A = this chain, B = another copy of it.
Amino acid sequence: MKFCSSCGSSEITLKIPEGDNRPRFVCSACGEIFYHNPKIVAGCIAEWQDKILMCKRAIEPRHGKWTLPAGFMENQETMHEAAARETHEEATAEVANLSLYTMYNLPHINQVYVMFRGDLVEGKASPGIESLEVSLMTENDIPWDEIAFPVIQETLELYFEDKRNNSNFELRYGDMLRLSGKKFEVKRY
């Protein structure tokens, strides 16, 4: 942040405003304070018979890697609407009967991932503009070494474990904390 979006001044400094307890971007000219907060990424596991919908990314980061459809929640929508919209954008697919499945804090990148489970309507999907390819996969089909993001890997592992155990896919809530490089610690509550 180099300029104030309210008054156009370049006198932006990082300082702790009066009555606050952490540094913010503050405009010394007009006094405006700029807050930055975590974003929600919403997505889903879309089920069709014994398979789920996977997408091969056509965009960075992780171009060419596989993921579940997911993306940033937008203003004026709900988390399940965001998950359904992302599934439509990435895989031209409709989903129904969404239920909450995993929710992870990713404090190192200021994100909260919220993943739902739902029905892939009529089993139909085709690549949207952000996907090179889409595919309906069983557990054995999943390209485990080619998964785009650790939080997606974690969600897939939980899902197939629940499926093997005939469990009721209860909500998992936790943190994924980056230790170093590609190592993560998962804490569940």
- Residues of A with Cβ closer than 8 Å to B? 1-8, 10, 12, 19, 21-22, 34-40, 72-81, 89, 98-100, 103, 105, 107-108, 110, 112, 129, 171, 173, 175, 189
**Residues of chain B lying within 8 A (CB to CB) of residue A89:** 21
Q: A8-B10, A39-B37, A73-B37 are in contact. Are A105 and B78 (CB under 8 A)?
A: yes
**Residues of chain B lying within 8 A (CB to CB) of residue A1:** 5
Q: A2-B6, A105-B79 are in contact. Are A100 and B37 (CB under 8 A)?
A: no
Is B40 a contact of A37 with CB atoms below 8 Å?
yes
Is A189 a contact of B107 with CB atoms below 8 Å?
no
Q: Choose one: B78, B129, B175; the contact of A78 (CB below 8 Å).
A: B175
| Copies per assembly | 2
Is B2 a contact of A8 with CB atoms below 8 Å?
yes
**Residues of chain B lying within 8 A (CB to CB) of residue A21:** 89
Is A173 a contact of B100 with CB atoms below 8 Å?
yes
Q: 16 additional contacts, CB 8 Å, given A5-B34, A38-B77?
A: A1-B5, A2-B5, A2-B8, A3-B7, A4-B5, A8-B8, A21-B89, A37-B39, A38-B74, A38-B75, A77-B107, A79-B105, A80-B105, A100-B173, A100-B189, A171-B171
- A89: min CB distance to chain B, Å: 8
- A13: min CB distance to chain B, Å: 14
Is B75 a contact of A110 with CB atoms below 8 Å?
yes
What are 21 A-B contacts defined by CB distance under 8 Å? A1-B5, A3-B8, A4-B5, A5-B34, A8-B8, A8-B10, A22-B74, A36-B75, A37-B39, A37-B72, A37-B73, A37-B75, A38-B40, A38-B73, A38-B74, A38-B75, A78-B175, A80-B189, A100-B171, A100-B189, A171-B171
